[in-house]
Chain A
């Protein structure tokens, strides 16, 4: 895998995980 491939993987995974963790943190806090 090329370095740009790694960058795309890391950025995509981080974007999804950030949104998921942030939204669930608020959801579970406010339930």
Chain B
């Protein structure tokens, strides 16, 4: 291994270790913890789902966390907070930095649509408080309410898309403001405020749900115990189906926010001898607490208590958004002090979402600051302005499938491809012995030796299987635009060209950056 040059003094660092773990956990905790997990669990064998889920957590999730933390801290030692620089030192090859550009493309492309979805939760929090959707007590009505908000249709509630646009602007400004304040004063402070609030709001909602009992005595089978039963009663026959194992593995992959490029950037602000092993475990388990204990105890149990098992199955089959944006607003209206609990629910989702979108914006921020020597404020303006304009087609072409197209190629397929690349580069190219030494350096607990072959073979095999299955199951259909109406083809092609354009732009930025004198000074022979 090369001896790292002294880390530039201007690089930011985390204020406290607790702040770092909360920021990492805040990055991982997102909308999926509270909406996607319960739907996946209920639809894939209930309690039995937890068997492949925990197996994937141990064999894929935690090892991948350690790998990303290790890569990040390694890059930080050389003054690089993003994967172009990190990969340059892992694989001394001219292509390495351009492969690393994927670690800029993915979080950037994620921000441009995730931020918009996060803005819906802020809007619904306000709508719940002000009673905007009061009186809509059926699914058709709530579906129309959301469709009008998104500009897909026009009705009395929303004549145009301007309300959604306004809430997006507010959310976007919040993100820009936080990243402009830096790692310690912006991201860490946000995490130290948001994570305790997520715990408190989650606990309030769980306690409320537990005490709901049987909301309608005329329908005694619609109760909270049956709601928990719907999530937890194991259906072992489902374990024979590969789709259950795929769903559990996919859920672990999404929930830990691995393959984003964001963990590496956060970890790059560690000191060279800071622990990554125990911190990685603490982060992962905090995320699991929010997902399994809080997320699993709110939306599905309460839906069963109010709508019954049969209707909950239909809602869960409709997906996470049907549960979060159609069922939950109706349920809160039927509940005592429902306006308050509805506001808390959607604000909880907003906090979970905004902490993740800040993490997604940080890699490109770090790249501009470190490789182009841009000031933090200017970098925030550049990132904010670029992501704002790229989000406009997502907002205005939503009904044409623009968001779904980007979500598949970036938010599903892209993540697993990038995760495979980083495992190969770190464990196979950089070398298993070097990677092992890097991860264990400064560790608070010693990792058992079997973890190394686990990372080298099992974690990688899991990722490759996930990529192949996803491509067969969904990728080919998305690629060939199966089920897409001919009228939407131009929008789908626009989304694809936009993604290719973003990737090409990131490669170009890396090309320019590698010609800057301060980067040349730190380069190693390729």
Find chain A residues with CB under 8 A from B233 CB.
1-2, 4-5, 8
**Bound complex: CA A6 to CA B47 (Å):** 9
Find chain B residues with CB under 8 A from A26 CB.
278, 444-445
Find chain B residues with CB under 8 A from A28 CB.
18
Instruction: Tell me whether A9 and B47 are in contact (CB under 8 A).
Output: yes
CB nearest neighbor in B for A24: B282
CB nearest neighbor in B for A9: B232
Q: Which residue of A1, A7, A19 contacts B285 across the interface (Cβ within 8 Å)?
A: A19
Instruction: Tell me whether B17 and A1 are in contact (CB under 8 A).
Output: no
**Bound complex: CA A1 to CA B278 (Å):** 35
Find chain A residues with CB under 8 A from B279 CB.
27
Identify 13 new A-B residue pairs, CB closer than 8 A, beyond the known A8-B48, A19-B288, A28-B18. A2-B229, A8-B46, A13-B292, A16-B285, A17-B289, A19-B281, A20-B289, A23-B282, A26-B444, A27-B17, A27-B279, A27-B444, A31-B16
**Bound complex: CA A7 to CA B21 (Å):** 30
Sorted nearest first, the 9 A-B pairs with minimum C-beta distance are: A8-B47, A1-B229, A5-B233, A20-B285, A23-B282, A5-B232, A19-B285, A9-B232, A23-B281
Minimum CB–CB distance for A22 against chain B, Å? 8
Minimum CB–CB distance for B286 against chain A, Å? 6
Find chain B residues with CB under 8 A from A7 CB.
47
Minimum CB–CB distance for B299 against chain A, Å? 16
Q: Which residue of B21, B232, B281, B285 contacts A8 across the interface (Cβ within 8 Å)?
A: B232
**Bound complex: CA A8 to CA B444 (Å):** 31
Confirm or deny: B476 has a beta carbon within 8 angstroms of a beta carbon on chain A: no
**Chain A residues proximal to chain B, CB less than 8 Å:** 1-2, 4-9, 12-13, 15-17, 19-20, 23-24, 26-28, 30-31
Known contacts A1-B225, A12-B292; decide if A27 and B47 are in contact (CB<8 Å): no
Minimum CB–CB distance for A30 against chain B, Å? 6
Q: Which residue of A2, A9, A15, A17 contacts B54 across the interface (Cβ within 8 Å)?
A: A15
Instruction: Tell me whether B282 and A20 are in contact (CB under 8 A).
Output: yes
Q: Which residue of B46, B226, B282 contacts A27 across the interface (Cβ within 8 Å)?
A: B282
Task: Report B217-235 CB contacts with A as 1/0, cut-off 8 Å.
Answer: 0000000011011001110
Find chain A residues with CB under 8 A from B286 CB.
20
Find chain B residues with CB under 8 A from A15 CB.
54
Confirm or deny: B169 has a beta carbon within 8 angstroms of a beta carbon on chain A: no
**Bound complex: CA A11 to CA B313 (Å):** 25
Q: Is the interface of B mostly helix, strand, loop or mixed?
A: helix
Instruction: Tell me whether A4 and B292 are in contact (CB under 8 A).
Output: no
Known contacts A19-B281, A26-B444, A27-B444; decide if A1 and B232 are in contact (CB<8 Å): yes
Minimum CB–CB distance for A20 against chain B, Å? 4
Find chain A residues with CB under 8 A from B288 CB.
16, 19-20
Find chain A residues with CB under 8 A from B50 CB.
8, 12
**Bound complex: CA A4 to CA B47 (Å):** 8
Known contacts A1-B225, A1-B228, A6-B232; decide if A16 and B17 are in contact (CB<8 Å): no
Instruction: Tell me whether B17 and A31 are in contact (CB under 8 A).
Output: yes
CB nearest neighbor in A for B50: A12
* 8 Å CB interface, B25-45 against A: none
Instruction: Tell me whether A30 and B229 are in contact (CB under 8 A).
Output: no
**Bound complex: CA A7 to CA B232 (Å):** 9
The 28 listed contacts between A and B (C-beta, < 8 Å) are A1-B232, A1-B233, A2-B229, A4-B47, A5-B46, A5-B233, A5-B234, A8-B48, A12-B292, A13-B292, A15-B54, A16-B288, A16-B292, A16-B293, A19-B281, A20-B282, A23-B281, A23-B285, A24-B282, A26-B444, A26-B445, A27-B18, A27-B21, A27-B278, A27-B279, A27-B444, A30-B275, A31-B18
Find chain B residues with CB under 8 A from A30 CB.
17, 275, 444
Find chain A residues with CB under 8 A from B46 CB.
5, 8
Minimum CB–CB distance for B228 against chain A, Å? 5
Minimum CB–CB distance for B237 against chain A, Å? 13
CB nearest neighbor in A for B21: A27
**Bound complex: CA A4 to CA B129 (Å):** 40
Instruction: Tell me whether B234 and A4 are in contact (CB under 8 A).
Output: yes
**Bound complex: CA A31 to CA B17 (Å):** 6
Find chain A residues with CB under 8 A from B282 CB.
20, 23-24, 27
Find chain B residues with CB under 8 A from A5 CB.
46-47, 228-229, 232-234
**Bound complex: CA A23 to CA B279 (Å):** 8
**Bound complex: CA A12 to CA B46 (Å):** 12
CB nearest neighbor in A for B275: A30
CB nearest neighbor in A for B283: A23
**Bound complex: CA A17 to CA B285 (Å):** 8
**Bound complex: CA A30 to CA B444 (Å):** 8
Instruction: Tell me whether B444 and A1 are in contact (CB under 8 A).
Output: no
Quick one: which of A4, A8, A17, A30 has the most chain B CB within 10 A?
A8
